[in-house]
Structure 1
Amino acid sequence: LVVRRHSSMTTRSTPGNDDGSSAAESSENVLPFTLPKRIFDSKAVLKCVDCHAGGEPARVVLSGVPAFPPGCSTALLKRSYMMEHLDHLRKILMLEPRGYPCQNADFIFPPAANDENGNLQYVIAEQNKIYPLMSGHNTICVATALLECGVVPMEEPISKFTLEAPAGPIEITAKCQQGKAQSISFRNAPSFVEHLDIVVNVPHENISVKLDVAYGGMWYAIVDMDQFQLEDSPIKLELDPSYGKQLCRIGEMIKVACREQFPVQHPTEDYPGV
């Protein structure tokens, strides 16, 4: 639908007639109007780039976040402030109509004034008011967006730079060609295992699952699928798309049961899990 504004009448182009002509309606039938430059008269504009890494989405916010109060100099402090005071931005970007259940958001910030290395900072936000200290696929998306949008100068064939996540500095190595980031690798913040070979009871399925709990920016329950393929296993599962619905359902049940039976807490940061 194309609307044209003229001095005496407004015409509306509609699909052509059989003879190739188009229909026009007078201003008596179509109210004349002018399209606004912007729908909302506000300066609250978030400039974003939508990315994905292996199908995992991330919305990288390059600008538009309100200024932080003095003292929020690190990515970790910005994360805490956003959780308490700016969570509405996460909701705007991740809930309908602008987002959807799998969406993530990454907020980019300038380096701290006292950062001699000039490392850009970023805060990661996910659904259910989760703000991870670090996330691999979000970091890959952030690095890609910064390079391909020209925020970080791209050097071919290899670009190297450091970002500051809430978990600490993350060293980025990007293989670049013809203005595109072909692949991203990074050196993560310190990771560690909290529990090995623990047994979690999943009451709704009447099963017991052996797993490990580890931290790598987020808390993870790591399950060996072989135990679901044994003859005496009450539930049969395989890493196959045909089992996708069952894997999601059982996975969530395992996560909830693990959280209740083996609660964990980061030793130095305010970050519970799983």
Structure 2
Amino acid sequence: MASSSQSPFQDEVQINTIEMHTAGEPLRIITSGFPQLKGTTILDKRKYLKKHFDHYRKLLMFEPRGHFDMYGVVLVTPDVEGADIGAIFMHNEGYSTMCGHAVIALGRYAVDHGFVKNPTSPETRVGIQCPCGLVEAFVEYQPGGSNCDNGRTGAVRFKSVPSFLFAAGLTVDVPGYPVQTVDVSYGGAFYAFVTDSNVGVALKSSPMRAVAEAAHAVSEAVKSKLTISHPDSDDLAFLYGTIITDGKDAFSSNATANVCVFGNRQVDRSPCGSGATARIALQYFKGHIGLGQSRTFESGATGSIFTGKAVQEVTCGQFKAVVVEVGGKAYYTGSNTFSLEREDTLGHGFLVL
């Protein structure tokens, strides 16, 4: 719990947000009241936020304003050509390099709130600069409506950064679990993949906290075993989480289920957009699917759905990679104005594990 007698907040706090969810996973979009972030690039700004203003993340993600599994984004001025907005993602442990569910929500938000000057029908392109690179979202757009009417189906698809299989069949020892091997794949963030049978849980019947603990144990084992690298930046080279799947990786028209656990045992309510991207790359490079073959991913937490497919072969440094397209739906849930009273030390943010 936060109990410091000296507040890290030097000025009056009043922060406005728009609240959305994508396939059940929350997104808190910070619209005003957040400090200016210094830096030339988005990765510089991410570092600056982590070093100087991490207390704002805790204020907005933690209780009493958020919860253990809250997710948020602060918008920044992009620094790459083709981007309409820049996004730095935050969660219960820190800062993501990519977030597909947030991209889906931000695509719709950007169209509805004027970040794209000339929206087009039936789809409007939105360039979103994420810490991992430029991601293109395509938002179903129906002109003539008000904020929450534009794209009222909520449908958005995005094309992510080049994604690749980093390590296949990695042997790991996970104390307390029967895991023998895992795969590690990149979809804007690095994930370990393991089947539910290999960790002794059932995605649709085991308590979600048991699934989260199993995934966290796998993540810790992989971190101790594997040195991760990325051709573009060392800031991208870390294991973000573990995705437990039902093992149905071979191409099928039926849905395949998974649960993504990232950060500090944080459970994604959606099928996980960057996770679906990484899983498509894994399936493609292990020969389970071909270009253009669409898979349906089901969240083991909520039953919500994303679609995904590999659409183009590319390279990423020394890796053979694919561009992956992921689709889902996002909806508005409300708005907030948050404040902090000077004597409220618990209001700085706390988590009950």
Relative to structure 1, the CA distance from residue 148 to residue 256 in structure 2 (aligned partners, 3 Å threshold; closer, same or farther) is same
Is residue 2:58 matched to residue 1:132?
no
CA distance in 1, matches of 2:183, 2:82: 37
Unaligned runs of 5+ in 1: 1-41, 229-234
Is residue 2:144 matched to residue 1:175?
no
Where does residue 174 of structure 2 map in the other structure? 202
The structure having more radius of gyration, on CA atoms, is: 1
Where does residue 248 of structure 1 map in the other structure? 212
CA distance in 2, matches of 1:166, 1:242: 34
Give 1:52 shift. Answer: 1.1
Where does residue 66 of structure 1 map in the other structure? 35
Where does residue 69 of structure 2 map in the other structure? 102
Give 1:125 shift. Answer: 1.2
Amino acid in structure 1 at the alignment position of 2:165: V
1:154-233 matches, within 5 Å, as 154-177=119-142, 178=145, 179-181=149-151, 182-205=154-177, 207-225=178-196, 227-228=197-198
Is the contact between residue 49 and residue 145 of structure 1 (CA under 8 Å) also seen in structure 2? no
Bigger relative contact order, structure 1 or 2, given CA contacts below 8 A and separation 6+? 2
Is residue 2:16 matched to residue 1:52?
no
Relative to structure 1, the CA distance from residue 87 to residue 247 in structure 2 (aligned partners, 3 Å threshold; closer, same or farther) is same
Counterpart among 106, 109, 119 of residue 145 in structure 1: 109
Unaligned runs of 5+ in 2: 1-10, 240-353
Give 1:53 shift. Answer: 0.9
Amino acid in structure 1 at the alignment position of 2:223: R
> What's the CA shift string for 1:176-209, capped at 9, x where partnerless?
345333211111112222110112111133x233
Give 1:250 shift. Answer: 1.3
> What's the CA shift string for 1:68-96, capped at 9, x where partnerless?
34xx2332221121111121211111011
Relative to structure 1, the CA distance from residue 165 to residue 236 in structure 2 (aligned partners, 3 Å threshold; closer, same or farther) is closer
Amino acid in structure 2 at the alignment position of 1:222: F
CA distance in 1, matches of 2:185, 2:83: 31
The alignment of Structure 1 onto Structure 2 pairs a total of residues equal to 220
Give 1:148 shift. Answer: 3.0
Aligned-residue RMSD, C-alpha: 2.3
Relative to structure 1, the CA distance from residue 243 to residue 44 in structure 2 (aligned partners, 3 Å threshold; closer, same or farther) is closer
Give 1:246 shift. Answer: 2.7
Is residue 2:236 matched to residue 1:271?
yes
SS in 2 for 1:47: strand
CA distance in 1, matches of 2:221, 2:93: 18
SS in 1 for 2:14: coil
SS in 2 for 1:184: strand
CA distance in 2, matches of 1:117, 1:242: 44
Counterpart among 52, 63, 68 of residue 85 in structure 1: 52
TM-score by length of 1: 0.72
Relative to structure 1, the CA distance from residue 241 to residue 184 in structure 2 (aligned partners, 3 Å threshold; closer, same or farther) is farther
CA distance in 1, matches of 2:224, 2:179: 14
Where does residue 237 of structure 1 map in the other structure? 201
SS in 2 for 1:46: strand
